[in-house]
Amino acid sequence: MVIPVAGRSDSVRIGNLHCRGESLLTERMLMDQTSLKNALQWNERYAAQSVEQLTELLRIPSVSAQSSHNADTRRAAEYVLNQLKAAGLKAELFETPGHPIVYGEWLGAPGAPTVMIYGHYDVQPPDPLDQWETPPFEPTVRNGHIFARGATDDKGQMYTHIRSVTAWLKTAGQLPVNVKFVIEGEEEVGSNHLEIFLRDHRDRCRNDIAVVSDTSQYGPGLPAITYGLRGIVACEIKLTGPRQDLHSGIFGGSIANPANALARIVAELHCESGRVQIPSFYDDVKDLTTEERAEWAQLPFNQQQFLAGIGAGDVWGEAGYTTLERRWARPTCDINGMLSGYTGEGPKTIIPSWAMAKITCRLVPSQDANKIVASLRTFVEARVRPGLQLEFKEYHGCPATVCDLGSPYMAAAKRAIEKGFGKAPVLIREGGSIPVVGTFKEILGVDTLLLGWGQNTDNLHSPNERFSLEDYQRGIRASTCLWYELAAK
Ligand code: BES
Ligand code: MN
Ligand code: MN
């Protein structure tokens, strides 16, 4: 006898089963199917509540980079903690020298896979404030989107998993898998204390597969699974010259101008065809395979639409690579900000006392973050003009990651997304970084399923960040199905 299982292309053969363990497993799957339906219905019934709860979380300005917001950041952690407890999880806060980590678990499915769900409750600074149509921490719904800092990155996306777990526990009273939540408050500043937490609590954090919703769909109506991320190193350089700003007529030409000197260094980072000029920068870069390039060439990509989405006039980058290749598989070196001298209204003739630049390099598989930052430091040190002092600060770094495409977990995630979004996901890589993915692999030996519900055009890290309320509900649905599919894998 063959019983088709909803949403699966294959089926379960009851008649051929000899082993009692297997038949028990099958019974459980059939039971879980009914439970899944009930959980999905619960989500629909309480959709309004899911928006209210997200709105409350979005009201909290948990800006991890700014210590003036430390109390708010803690409040966001406590909000998440309480929601996990309300869902029926055993949950607690773990203190770190930085922001607290929320940990919660439900382990009532012995024998089933254990899933680690990671997300972050911290957000980027909302600046520039004057460009927000409504204030960043007063969530507002317009055109089917909720607007607020953190709407998509990552409060909204992360919250879909809290809702789905709540739905299962409120209806069936159980989940088809074991879950362990790790929701941190330092992702936007490099996750510097998370690694220590995972090392210290390695046994408690053991799992079979990690799930993270902190990336994007490939485009509107085109869900994706992200199988690779770039890594990053972040640093800051400051050149200091005279004790204070000086008259540029009296002293100009006789001492090194820190702003001129910094501009020269920054200009030398790239050649005209877009290649980074730091020695040995490309030494360990793994080239894209012909197959991967061919697959990416099959993805729908409309350059006009891409440019319109970000309001840019044209593309530019390393010669010899397509836009997707440049974004997903080539390393970069970018200035994130520069500051020096007088930038107010009208002219002012000075030699600035100092000049600084914030720099990040995006890394690709097999580049080593420590090696890259050391090369960058050497590159800058060799170019410091006489009389100037260099201060070189390292902020954080993490390697690029690529995960296994052939795992049964990957197949389960595909089925869950297809059910939640009504469309099969495409496989993509992304240019952004999520430090924990490499740490999970290194410390716990597990791959991460990067299941993004947002859009790259949702203005993350920009003014007017938003999250589509439809994508929010689809994400909740896909997540609800995911626990079922991971158990059925
Ligand atoms: N959620 C983003 C990463 C992301 C967004 C990846 C969209 C792919 C698509 C994450 O919060 C982020 O912004 N990460 C930082 C890295 C961190 C070390 C500061 C980044 O990529 O700049
Ligand atoms: Mn994020
Ligand atoms: Mn972010």
Task: Give the tokens for residue 250.
Answer: 């009296």
**What's the gap in Å between 227 CA and the centre of ligand 3?**
18
CA of 405 to the centre of ligand 2 (A): 22
Q: Which amino acid is at 88?
A: G
How far is the centre of ligand 3, averaged over its atoms, from the C-alpha of 188 (Å)? Answer: 5
For residue 461, the CA-to-ligand 1 centroid distance in Å is 9
Q: Can you state the angle between helices 47-58 and 469-488, rounded to 10 degrees?
A: 110
Give the pLDDT of residue 8: 38
Answer whether 186 contacts ligand 1 (Cβ < 6 A).
no
What average pLDDT does the segment 28-52 reach? 93
Query: How far apart (Å, rounded) are the C-alpha atoms in residues 397 and 362?
Result: 9
Candidates 57, 202, 190; CA nearest to 116 is 202
Going along the chain from its start, the domains and CATH numbers come out as 25-228+400-487 (3.40.630.10), 231-285+331-398 (3.30.70.360)
> Containing H/E element for 73?
helix 70-87
Length of the chain: 489
- Give residue 489's pLDDT: 83
Residue 164: is its pLDDT beyond 80?
Answer: yes
Pocket-testing residue among 188, 328, 395, ligand 1, by greatest number of atoms within 8 A of Cβ: 188
Does the structure show a pLDDT above 70 at 81? yes
Ligand 1 atom having least distance to the Cα of 214:
1
Q: CA Rg, the chain, in Å? A: 25
Instruction: Provide φ and ψ at 301, rounded to 5°.
Output: -145, 115
pLDDT digits (tens, 9 = 90+) for 226-247: 999 999 999 999 999 999 999 9
Answer whether 61 contacts ligand 1 (Cβ < 6 A). Answer: no
Is 362 within 8 Å of 334 (Cβ atoms)?
Answer: yes
* pLDDT averaged over every residue in the chain: 94
**Confidence grade of residue 278 (pLDDT, cut at 50, 70, 90):** very high
> What's the gap in Å between 214 CA and the centre of ligand 2?
5
Q: Is the confidence at residue 14, as pLDDT, over 80? A: no
* Ligand 1 atom closest to the CA of 434, numbered from 1: 14
Distance CA 90, CA 128 (A): 39
Ligand 1 within 6 A of CB of 124: no
pLDDT tens readout for residues 386-428: 999 999 999 999 999 999 999 999 999 999 999 999 999 999 9
The predicted pLDDT at position 31 comes to 72
Q: Is residue 43 over pLDDT 60?
A: yes
pTM for the full predicted model: 0.92
Query: Atom 10 of ligand 1 has which residue's CA nearest to it?
Result: 434
Of 99, 214, 402, 471, the one to substitute when testing ligand 1's pocket (max ligand atoms within 8 A of C-beta) is 214
286 contact partners, CB below 8 Å, separation of at least 6: 364, 365, 366
From the CB of 430, is ligand 1 less than 6 Å away? yes
For the CA of 432, the nearest ligand:
1
**261, pLDDT greater than 90:** yes
Tell which atom from ligand 1 comes closest to the C-alpha of 435: 18
Give the number of other CB atoms < 10 A from CB of residue 312: 10
> Does residue 198's CB lie within 6 angstroms of at least one atom of ligand 1?
no
Residues 35, 30: Cα–Cα separation, whole Å: 9
State mean pLDDT over 153-165: 98
Q: Alpha carbon 347 to chain centroid distance?
A: 42
Q: What is the number of other CB atoms lying within 10 angstroms of the CB of residue 244?
A: 10
Q: What's the pLDDT score for residue 25?
A: 62
In DSSP terms, which residues pair with 182 in a beta bridge? 103, 118
For the CA of 65, the nearest ligand: 1
pLDDT in tens, 350-381: 999 999 999 999 999 999 999 999 999 999 99
Q: Which of 460, 467, 471 has the most ligand 1 atoms within 8 A of CB, as the residue to mutate?
A: 460
390 with 238: CB under 8 angstroms? yes
Least confident of 66-70, 189-193, 199-203, 312-316: 189-193
Q: Determine which residue's CA is closest to atom 6 belonging to ligand 1.
A: 432
DSSP annotation of 123: B
The per-residue DSSP string of 168-231 comes to: HHHHTSS-SSEEEEEEES-GGGT-TTHHHHHHHTHHHH--SEEEE--SB-SBTTB-EEEEEE-E
CA of 434 to the centre of ligand 1 (A): 5
Q: Which residues of 461-485 are buried (b: 16+ CB within 10 A; e: fewer)?
A: ebbbbbbbbebbbbbbbbbbbbbbb
Please, which residues have CB within 8 angstroms of residue 136's CB and are 6 or more apart in sequence? 61, 126, 129, 148, 149, 463, 465
Report residue 43 as tokens: 């989500």
The amino acid occupying position 80 is V
Q: What is the tens place of the pLDDT at every residue in 181-201?
A: 999 999 999 999 999 999 999
Amino acid at 193: H
Report whether pLDDT(5) > 90: no
